[in-house]
Amino acid sequence: MNNQTNPRRPRRGSYRPKSETLALLKTSGNTINGVGETKPRRPSPFFWHPPHQHPWGALQIVARENSRKCPGSAEAFQAAYTYPELIPIADTRNEATGEQLTAELISFALAHEADGVGITAVDPLYVFEGYAITEPWVVVLALAHNYERLKEVPSDETNGVGVCDVGDQYAKGTRSSYALVNWIRSQGYSANPYPGPSANALALIPPAIAAGLGELGKHGSLISRYFGSGVRLAGVTTDMPLIATGPDRFGADEFCATCQVCTTACPPAAIAPQKQMVRGVERWYVDFDKCIPYFVEAASCGICIAECPWTRPEVRPKLLATMARRLGQ
């Protein structure tokens, strides 16, 4: 289902935000995100942090309400917010080598609902301002969307299939990250979970890229060689001595330079065709102030990740082969 055949998708440029949505836009989200800033800095708490921590909190509450009106969505997200109990750290440590512990950890995560696993050192720039992470490693878990369900986005009161798949993947991330934390603690090491969709101390996309789970796409989301843009993330930080796994360059960044699929499909025309300077890094960036009104009204939208050619299972292998040739791999 694409923009031509999905009756819930307005054409690019035809969308106008409701006045009650516009009334909640208190300040520019692009400023909070550091667009135009040339010096690196930690990200500021924003959407999906507790509403009192940022000026868009009231809009975030409306976004949740709209999402939960879709059939099945409340139950799907309830599962994402159901946190299993965490165990204390065992007194005895598994003293295996970093290589062995890394192999055991990856194998455990893949056996407990993760669809991909990456490991990287914690960089202070991954940690939101006002928060602290003391553990040196971050494990990022990839949770793959069901493409047949994802392509139904956006959701509304008549069809909640797409947003329910979002909730289901976050629920997998919660269960998987908590299971992994408990396994690490059982081996005598410290570990803490960072599942979505609520944000906590850890920004997930930057470590996911460093850990080799994918590249940043023009739509501001991760593109994985295995799942395309149809992927959600959860994190685990730990002091278990591990081996880094990334990064992985397969040509998504180069492909985005000429692809226009998401820019054309985005109803509020929020996806910029060129990279921009954001907190000291030249990168793809979505205009927050344009995206978020539609995102709020359309139950978390998701059109850009569903429409991305890398997300289509039958297209992805051809793109990988083409880009491997172009990159001389």
Binding residues (CB under 6 A) for ligand SF4: these are: 217-219, 229, 255-256, 259, 261-262, 266, 268, 270-271, 286, 291, 294-295, 301, 303-304, 308-310
Residues 6+ apart with CB under 8 A from 99: 243
Compare residues 121 and 315 and give the one whose CB is closer to ligand SF4. Answer: 315
Long-range contacts of 102-111 (CB under 8 A, 24+ apart): 102/242, 102/243, 102/245, 105/139, 105/180, 105/183, 105/184, 105/240, 105/242, 108/179, 108/180, 108/183, 109/139, 109/141, 109/176, 109/180
Compare residues 201 and 281 and give the one whose CB is closer to ligand SF4. Answer: 281
Give the dihedral of Cα atoms 297, 78, 146, 184; nearest 10 deg: 130
Compare residues 113 and 165 and give the one whose CB is closer to ligand SF4. Answer: 165
Q: In angstroms, what is the minimal distance from the CB of 287 to ligand SF4?
A: 8
Q: If DSSP codes are grouped into helix, strand and coil, which group holds residue 222?
A: strand
Q: In angstroms, what is the minimal distance from the CB of 305 to ligand SF4?
A: 7
Q: In angstroms, what is the minimal distance from the CB of 115 to ligand SF4?
A: 19
Q: In angstroms, what is the minimal distance from the CB of 41 to ligand SF4?
A: 24
Compare residues 176 and 224 and give the one whose CB is closer to ligand SF4. Answer: 224
Compare residues 141 and 301 and give the one whose CB is closer to ligand SF4. Answer: 301
Structure tokens at 262: 């998401």
- Count the alpha carbons within 13 Å of 219 in the hemisphere toward its beta carbon: 28
Q: In angstroms, what is the minimal distance from the CB of 316 to ligand SF4?
A: 11
Q: What is the residue type of 107? A: S
